[in-house]
Structure 1
Amino acid sequence: MYPEILRIGSFSLNTYGLLLAIAFLAALFVAARLAERDGLPRERIYDLGLWMLLAAIVGSKILMLLTEPSYRENPWHLFSLDFLRSGGVFYGGFIAAVITGYLLVRHYELPWWKTADAFAPGIALGQAIGRQGCFAAGCCWGRPTTLPWGVRFTEQAHELTGVPTEEYLHPTQLYESFAALALFLLLLWFYRRKRFDGQIILLYATLYAVIRFVIEFFRDDPRGDIAGLTTLTGLSTSQLISLFVGIGASLLLVLRWRRAAHPS
């Protein structure tokens, strides 16, 4: 857990920011390679990636605004340095990126499902790297545990994120990082053997929803609530979104699989 890589005077190089940048570049590189292999223009993929990154940043902040009481009660925090440096909520960024990507794919006259498939493995790889940044910063922490791999965070991490330092916690950031890495490898394997366009992105959405739903049971950082749904259901916001995304993606996956197996 090293929130800062180095500090020179007032300038500091944060581990989280560096790993997030590496995650984006790695995801974009993988997407461009896979897209080019399928005959899609590499330049358009780079354009798509940059616009989707911007959309993801905005979407993650908007969902954080909706779920975090401190931002709802103090909207001027939207313009604070703390808000700009915070990571946001992944599903907000993912949904915003998908919507933006769909509109741009239509504008560029690219095949939607084939383009989305090219991005899917890279998204998983980006998550695997990005969650390492969360671990370094101390955000997205887990519940207390007595398991041998429980971790205690530093005072510096506590000052940045508020992570408890007095007891060992589930390293939920690493749980998701390793799960996302395994998902990345699985998606690459399926990509070379896919039966129809859309199979990879829908497989990603389905499996990541399961991963996120399970990991949320081990998380203990404050993640807010929307319209009291968390209080009503006992599930976190991300778990509720995972249910909708997972069910919707799995149904589409089955429908497209059947259509590919029995073309009309």
Structure 2
Amino acid sequence: MLTSANLAAILPFPDIDPIAVSLGPLSIHWYGLAYVAGILLGWFYARRLVDNGKLWLNDTAPMTRQHLDDFILWVALGIVLGGRIGYILFYDLDQVLANPIRAIQVWNGGMSFHGGLIGTTVAMFLFARRNQIPAWSMFDIVAAVAPIGLFFGRIANFINGELWGRVTDVPWAMVFCSPHVIAAHNGACPAGPDPRHPSQLYEAGIEGIILFLVLFILTRWALALKKPGTVSGIFVIGYAFSRIFVEFFRQPDEQLGYLLGTNWLTMGMVLSLPMVAIGLWAVIRARQAAAGQTA
């Protein structure tokens, strides 16, 4: 229960304009810059991994810098198209069927990570096949850099005052209302006046920083890239458990709410559960393949 002491301890939500730069009629949003930063920094780090042949099977990277340069457009399309289509199918299908123009209104709901993952996987598979790159190595290098994009994306969610957490009385709770948030929603504050978990920051820390460090250790010290599929599998497992954990603090999408009559089960959890099985399968397959090569 909230008390006056709790309320006094609530952290102020920073009033950051979601629009980073305005050039006449052109507005550049932090959300868009987050995508650009994630892709470009991921591309830079991926090039460093490719340059280090000792990290790879047979001490030779199965792709070149030029491949990574060409792949940027593919992965951007996979993220954006997959993320939007995934959100519509998983979270907003009824509303889109009732009003099809809503499908291109990215400010209504935005993107789905699980959809973006599917879109990126399709892009990776097609690109690898076209360029005769081992698919699992393609998956691994993208998985190794993906937490960078997740980090920036969640920070952008925080700046936008969206995907907020559940109501709470923890000392670091925030009221997700600010003049810019209210202005962006025609004078309303969607999160209401209650203090909530800053779940976007939880996700940025766990899915972004911690998962990146785990994969960094695996690639640099454990030489996991020498067992294609290992990094991909660990990334999928790590993201799934991170998302399931944070869903206990994150407010579910209004149009779906909690599932199966519970007060805790969310669509984010349901979509993440199969990822654990897929990730475990990828890691086991990688170990078996490596054992077969050394037998």
Does residue 218 of structure 2 align to residue 190 of structure 1?
yes
What TM-score, normalized by structure 1, do the two folds share?
A: 0.88
CA RMSD of aligned residues (A): 2.4
1:1-264 correspondence runs (5 A): 1=14, 2=16, 3-7=18-22, 10-38=25-53, 39=61, 40-66=63-89, 67-68=91-92, 69-80=94-105, 82=107, 87-153=110-176, 154-160=178-184, 163-179=190-206, 180-192=208-220, 193=222, 194=224, 196-222=227-253, 224-225=255-256, 230-231=259-260, 235-261=265-291, 263=293, 264=295
- Bigger CA drift: 231-240 or 102-111? 231-240
**Where does structure 2 lack aligned partners over 5 or more consecutive residues?**
1-13, 54-60
- 1 CA distance for matches of 2:261 and 2:132? 43
- Code of the residue aligned with 2:161 in structure 1: it is G
User: Which one has the largest radius of gyration?
Assistant: 2
User: Is the 8 Å Cα contact of residues 31 and 118 (structure 1) preserved in structure 2?
Assistant: yes
- 2 CA distance for matches of 1:109 and 1:59? 24
User: Is the 8 Å Cα contact of residues 155 and 165 (structure 1) preserved in structure 2?
Assistant: no
Q: Percent identity?
A: 27
- Code of the residue aligned with 2:52 in structure 1: it is R
What TM-score, normalized by structure 2, do the two folds share?
A: 0.79
Matched residue count: 260
- 2 CA distance for matches of 1:64 and 1:160? 21
